[in-house]
Structure 1
Amino acid sequence: MMNIDLHTHGKLSKKTHFSLEYFLSMAREAKENGLHAVALTEHFNTLNFTDLLDQLDYHFDYTNDYYLVEGLKVFSGMEVDVANKGHILLIGNRVIIRELRQQLDAHTAKDSFIPLDELLDRTEDYPLLRIGAHPMRESTPLTHHAAATLQRLDTLDVNAKDLFQYGFGMADNVQQFAEELGLPVSAGSDSHQPLQFGSVINRFDKDCHTAEQLRTELLNGNYQLEISPCLNVKVKAAQMMKELLKKSMVVA
Structure 2
Amino acid sequence: MLSLDLHTHTRFFHGHDRLAHRFDPYGHAALAAFAKRRGLDGVALTNHDYYRPLGSALDGFLSIPGIEISTTEGHVVVLGSDPPTRTKKGELTPEEAVELAHDRDCVAIIAHPFRNSTIRETDIAFDAIECNGKHPRTWPLVRELAEERGIPLVGGSDAHYPFEVGRAYTRIDADPTPESVVEAIRRGRVEPEVAGGPFARLLRRGYQQVHERKGQLTETTPGIGTPPES
Q: TM-score, normalised by structure 2?
A: 0.78
2:134 maps to a residue whose letter is K
User: 1:189-204 counterparts in 2 under 5 A?
Assistant: 189-204=157-172
| 1:15-54 matches, cutoff 5 A | 15-16=15-16, 17-18=19-20, 19=23, 20-44=25-49, 49=50, 53=52
User: Which amino acid letter does the alignment assign opposite residue 38 of structure 1?
Assistant: V
Deviation of 1:238 (Å): 8.9
Q: Is residue 2:210 matched to residue 1:222?
A: no
* CA–CA separation in structure 1 for the residues paired with 2:11 and 2:79: 17
Q: Secondary structure at the match of 1:161?
A: coil
Matches of 2:163 and 2:205, distance apart in 1 = 9
Q: Say if 2:104 is the partner of 1:126.
A: yes
Matched position secondary structure for 1:143: helix
SS of residue in 1 equivalent to 2:121: coil
Check the 8 A contact 1:194/1:238 in 2, yes or no. Answer: no
Q: Which residue of 1 aligns with 2:94?
A: 116
Letter in 2 for 1:233: L
How many pairs are equivalent?
Answer: 200
Q: Assess, with a 3 A threshold, how the Cα gap between structure 1 residues 36 and 233 changes in structure 2: closer, same or farther.
A: same
- 2-side partners of 1:87 and 1:10: how far apart? 17
Cα gap change, 1:4/1:174 in structure 2, threshold over 3 Å: closer, same or farther? same
Which aligned pairs between 1:55-66 and structure 2 lie closer than 5 A?
56=54
Partner of 1:73 in structure 2? 62
CA contact (8 A) 2:167 2:194 kept: yes
* Alignment match, 1:158: 131
Q: Is the deviation greater in 10-19 or in 33-42? A: 10-19
Consecutive unaligned residues in structure 2, runs of 5 or more? 209-230
**Which structure: larger Rg?**
1
Counterpart Cα distance in 1 of 2:77 and 2:33: 23
Structure 2 CA distance for partners of 1:207 and 1:122, relative to 1, 3 Å: closer
Deviation of residue 136 (structure 1)?
1.9
Structure 2 counterpart of 1:233: 202
Q: Output the aligned Cα RMSD.
A: 2.3
More helix by share: 1
8 A Cα contact 1:89 1:132, kept in partner: yes
